[in-house]
Amino acid sequence: MTEFTNRYYPTVSLRRGEMRAFEKLPESEKQKTLPVVLLAPWLNSIKFANTFRIIEKSIGDQPIVVDLDRYYQSDSPLESRAYFWSLLQPSEGPAKWMKLVEEHPNYIPCIQHLNVAAEIVETQVEWAQSLGRGFCFRFESDRHQDLRNYVLSHLKHIDDNTLVIIDFGYSDYSESLRLELNDLLEQLFDFSSELRVVLTGSNFPNDFSDFDNFASSHQIASRALYSELKTQFGNYNLFYGDWASTKPRAYDGRGSAPLPRIDYPTASAWIIARSKDEQWSLEDASLRITRLPEWADRPKVWGTGMIEKTALGRPGGITTHPEAIAVRINIHLFIQANYGAPTVPNQPKGRWKDPI
């Protein structure tokens, strides 16, 4: 039985940057997290099984929570896509979902409940209890206008081995959001003071025009919301999660190529280095990051090593936008996994490998 404890719960989807960022974390740091992995076909793989291989390569065989990535879109006729869409079918999908999870001993299932009949939800709960791994209900505010009533309608299925994940989606900090979450948490903990709840969300910027030349940093809204609510619900099992400095998949069409940019995460904000006016290269942006006061407290992980290498113009540094994303995620994962520690370990246990 996996214990749902006060760990870091990053939500990650099957994209190159997220998988590479996890792969480059030391094993000791991976084990401080309980990743919530949203399954979808891996790139242009014909077989859906490639998804499982990539997860194992990147995260290993540690316990992970698994759900389906409902943000994923594709009109490809590949076999992997057809299988994925079949998992989302409300009548036939849950049976296939249960078979998928059973085949992977480290997978902790999210109960498939969206548009699923009550009796099928109950069947999944009984099945999950028989597996003895624990199970989760994951609720996405993007898919429910009244998240509170939707969550409360499933409370009868919750027991001591259940984790409730409240994903407030892509949303910046606001007083109305805080009040909505506060009301929901009050009702959840009134139902059971022993309930284990994860709050997660994302607000990594869509538009970077306001961040030219270090004009400002960007607050991590999920951390700010959690910190405020944890003050009120500190005696309960309320745990922190976020989208690992990413966003849910978006399919708004391709715009112009992004300007070279390096993002440096801190505990509560992202510092964004780019300049449209001065046409900074990735090397220029990296060099400016390494001159910031915040750089002195950097963790010695793969991501910061890549920024240093790029700033010095050495081979093996950051050369593409996807690499820069992986670097940001890797640093963010490490910092959030160690958030609140008396002293954040500057050198994680396990051998750090030079990327050259």
Per residue in 55-90, pLDDT tens? Answer: 999 999 999 999 999 999 999 999 999 999 999 999
Strand spans (E) along 8-147 = 9-13, 36-39, 64-68, 107-109, 135-140
Question: Does 30 fall in a domain?
Answer: yes
Question: Does 269 fall in a domain?
Answer: no
Question: Does 37 fall in a domain?
Answer: yes
Distance of CA 93 to the CA centre of its chain: 24
| Residue 38 bridge partners (DSSP) | 13, 67
Question: Does 268 fall in a domain?
Answer: no
Domain of 32: which CATH number? 3.20.20
Residues in the chain, total: 356
- pLDDT at residue 215, rounded to an integer: 78
Q: Which uninterrupted H or E stretch holds 180? A: helix 175-191
Q: Give the pLDDT confidence of 157-196 residue by residue, as tens digits.
A: 888 899 999 999 999 999 999 999 999 999 999 999 999 9
Question: Does 137 fall in a domain?
Answer: yes
Taking phi first (over 0 means left), then psi (-120 to 50 degrees means alpha), and beta for anything else, what does residue 279 get? left
Which residues constitute the domain of residue 116? 9-248
Taking a C-beta distance cutoff of 8 angstroms, is the pair 333, 10 a contact?
A: yes
**Two structure tokens written together for 321:** 């936008």
SS3 338: coil
End-to-end CA distance of the chain: 40
SS3 8: strand
SS3 40: coil
The amino acid that residue 354 corresponds to is D
Question: Does 125 fall in a domain?
Answer: yes
Q: Give the pLDDT confidence of 115-126 residue by residue, as tens digits.
A: 999 999 999 999
Burial of 208 (0-12, 13-18, 19+ CB in 10 A): middle
Total number of domains constituting the chain:
1
At 199, phi and psi to the nearest 5? -105, 130
Write out residues in the chain with pLDDT < 50, as ranges: 347-356
Question: Does 277 fall in a domain?
Answer: no
Question: Does 64 fall in a domain?
Answer: yes
